Chain A
């Protein structure tokens, strides 16, 4: 699909044959191998025709979504005042490469109010999120020019309308709402001065869009910045007036795959499928030249040389990702000492050794090195992004690790930033303080991991960490990160129950639910929020609905401290027993014996291998940990 998907791998020659084979295989059901193939075929840079054909096939997988392992189903309501059918049709193919099986559920034409009020229903089942995409014709009437006050009132009214609609959608579907910034379907600017002419449509839209973004910053809704996307594409390509009149489509149907890809990034961010670590090659990726041959002084990097400036600009993009919480690692075929020399001594290097959480410079296979990095960072393949200028290395990594994200990098370093950012692999939702800490906190973690081997006595090591844990009930400030953890945690997760922001808010407000967020810090730094526990409280029995932890702080005594706290609170109010379930998935083998290790008794095996456990509060013995706990608001 042209320039927009330059970061995607070109399709192999046998794409068509593989597609035909996939279609035939799907007729017999969605086996694991076929699902992976569907995901892979969707990750290539497709022609518009192939894209449509693949979308048709992906659409038919939706009814059997419950059996999916590699693709996460995601049902998105499409609420607009125009036709969004073309966007809905592009969603199924668009999500595949990011591990999503998306479905668009279009509201009947111009009927948002009827659906919200319940007068009209969607035949769709549950929605995972709703997109609200209105154009200016739904929000503004024609205004007198040069009347500042009327303009202010009109913006306020339009915002009120959005707020009311979002509240209604959220109540009706109990799902988060993405609000699109407004783009006019038709040309509206008379000239350059429009933005400085009170009452002009250009100004109304600009002022409203600023408010839409501000509301997103304050966590009132999720933002889909359609106006930014349309600007990136170019408004004259974005609009298609003929299709607007004939089919009521608010933007060019030819660009539906671009819009759908942009939405798939948002959904990837919402479902924990965004990139969390960036693994970087060095020679001709971070600098021009080969350090082993050219030496530090021979590298092209920095001001005064066109290529050197381009490489430095790429480093500044990488550094910005690091600031947003993306963990950086190096994977390079080099001698460690030589590779590190550039980081230590080159005056124009923006990246320094302490930005890099894991530094793998050796002559081993890159796949083995990337696996080591993933293990060290305790991240899944799906959350890794690998950047290398060498097509052979990229091909090998894609072959061996099909879930890892590997953007094309082209052969011009000037375009590296565009390719890496264009991929949207690092799309994220509203940044929180915990996100800012994340990339820094990996440094202490890997250091601590290395140090831990030097401790003969593990208790001594734990004691030396000087860990402090803060437990508090769910609150507004933590909601974003709580939701993120609930949806991202796969390994240390007893029940893998996913809740969206609206549901998390409901749990926080539920007097019969105990909902804890826990943060951990130690002498190396702050790890931010690392655990979430939700307990449904009856009079005699409490049931642990969800228990999940970040894998960055394993074997630290976090769960022991939390469990001790839980039993203490339960005992105080006279609860007799605590019940827990282990629901097995392909990812949570790590906690298979979680309840056994705490001395719970398995009492029943249920559907799908779920085990139900019980423990009497009277028999509980507090456990020794090396975590100092402070518990707010209990």
Chain B
């Protein structure tokens, strides 16, 4: 299940962080991606919200450590 969510997240990662060529896995986090700055972060989160038709609250995002945790959060919301 989480894998399916990550598969849907991957094109979003590649669109915002288009210089990143590595794998998009549950372990991926902001430190692995050079383009992942504060603007990129907002752009990425907004794309996720639009892709899954959900909204994140302020506190929810701050806690996340990696893509896997993001995927788990998405799953709880859809």
* Given A49-B11, A52-B15; A247-B42 close (CB under 8 Å): yes
Asked if A415 lies at the interface with its beta carbon under 8 angstroms from chain B, I say no
Pick the contact of A48: B18, B47, B56 (CB < 8 A). Answer: B47
- The residues of B that contact A253 with a CB separation of less than 8 Å are 42-43, 46
Q: Does B22 contact A (CB under 8 A)?
A: no
Query: Cβ of A49 and Cβ of B38 under 8 Å apart?
Result: no
Q: How far is the CA of A245 from the CA of B56 in the complex (A)?
A: 13
Q: Is the CB–CB distance between A53 and B50 below 8 Å?
A: no
Q: A89–B58 contact, CB under 8 A?
A: no
The closest CB in chain B to the CB of A89 belongs to B39
When the two chains form the complex, which single residue of A50, A52, A242, A254 contacts B58, counting CB atoms closer than 8 Å? Answer: A242
User: How far is B57's CA from A242's CA once the two chains are assembled, in angstroms?
Assistant: 7
Residue tally, chain A, CB below 8 Å to B: 18
Total residues of chain B contacting the partner, CB 8 A: 20
- Measured CB to CB, the nearest residue on chain B to A248 is B38
Q: Does B5 contact A (CB under 8 A)?
A: no
> Are A50 and B15 in contact, CB atoms less than 8 angstroms apart?
yes
Q: Chain A at the B interface: mostly helix, strand, loop or mixed? A: helix
CA distance A68 to B38 in the complex (A): 31
Residues 245-269 of chain A, each 1 if its beta carbon lies under 8 Å from chain B, else 0: 1110100011000000000000000
User: What 1/0 flags go to B42-70 for Cβ under 8 Å of A?
Assistant: 11001101110000111001100000000
Q: Which residues of B contact A414 (CB under 8 A)?
A: none
CB of B12 within 8 A of CB of A49, answer yes
Which of A52, A245, A247: most chain B Cβ within 10 A?
A: A52
Most buried by B among A57, A246, A247, A254: A246
Q: Are B39 and A254 in contact (CB under 8 A)?
A: no
Residues of B within 8 A of A366 (CB): none
| A342–B51 CA distance with the chains assembled, in angstroms | 49
Beta-carbon contact of A86 and B18 below 8 Å = no
Q: Which residue of A lies closest to B12 (CB)?
A: A49
Residue B16 is within 8 A (CB to CB) of chain A in the complex: yes
Q: Are B12 and A254 in contact (CB under 8 A)?
A: no
Also in contact, A53 and B18, with CB within 8 A (given A242-B57, A254-B46): yes
A-B contact count (CB 8 A): 46
Residue on A with the closest CB to B50?
A48
A85 surroundings in chain B (CB, below 8 A): 38-39, 42
Chain A's closest residue to B44 (CB) is A52
Q: Which residues of A sit under 8 angstroms from B56, Cβ to Cβ?
A: 242
Given A85-B39, A243-B42: A49 touches B58 (CB 8 Å cut-off)? no
Do B46 and A48 touch (CB < 8 A)?
yes
A247 to B45, CA, bound (A): 12
Q: Specify which chain A residues have a CB less than 8 angstroms from the CB of B51 in the assembled complex.
A: 49
Residues of chain A with a CB closer than 8 A to B16's CB: 52-53, 56
In angstroms, how far is the closest chain A Cβ from the Cβ of B60?
10
Q: Which single residue of chain A is at the shortest CB-CB distance from B18?
A: A56
**Interchain CA distance A28-B61 in the complex, whole Å:** 39
Contact A254 B50 (CB under 8 A): yes
Convert B11-51 into 0s and 1s, putting 1 for each residue whose CB lies closer than 8 angstroms to a CB of A.
11011101000000000000000000011001100110111
Contact indicator per residue, chain A 36-73, by CB within 8 Å of chain B (1) or not (0): 00000000000011101100110000000000000000
Nearest opposing residue in chain A for B39, CB measure: A85
Q: Which residue of A lies closest to B62 (CB)?
A: A246
A254 — nearest CB in chain B belongs to which residue?
B46
Residues of chain B within 8 A of A48, CB atoms compared: 46-47, 50
A91 to chain B, nearest CB (A): 13
CA distance A148 to B36 in the complex (A): 49
Complex Cα distance, B14 from A246, in Å, reads: 24
Q: B14 to nearest A CB, angstroms?
A: 8
Chain B residues positioned under 8 Å from A89 (CB to CB) = 39, 43
Residues of A at under 8 Å CB distance from B? Answer: 48-50, 52-53, 56-57, 85-86, 89, 242-243, 245-247, 249, 253-254
Going nearest first, the 8 A-B pairs with the smallest beta carbon separation are A53-B15, A85-B39, A49-B15, A242-B58, A56-B18, A52-B15, A253-B46, A48-B50
Apart from A50-B15, A57-B18, A253-B42, what are 6 other A-B pairs with CB-CB below 8 Å?
Answer: A49-B15, A242-B56, A242-B57, A247-B42, A253-B46, A254-B46
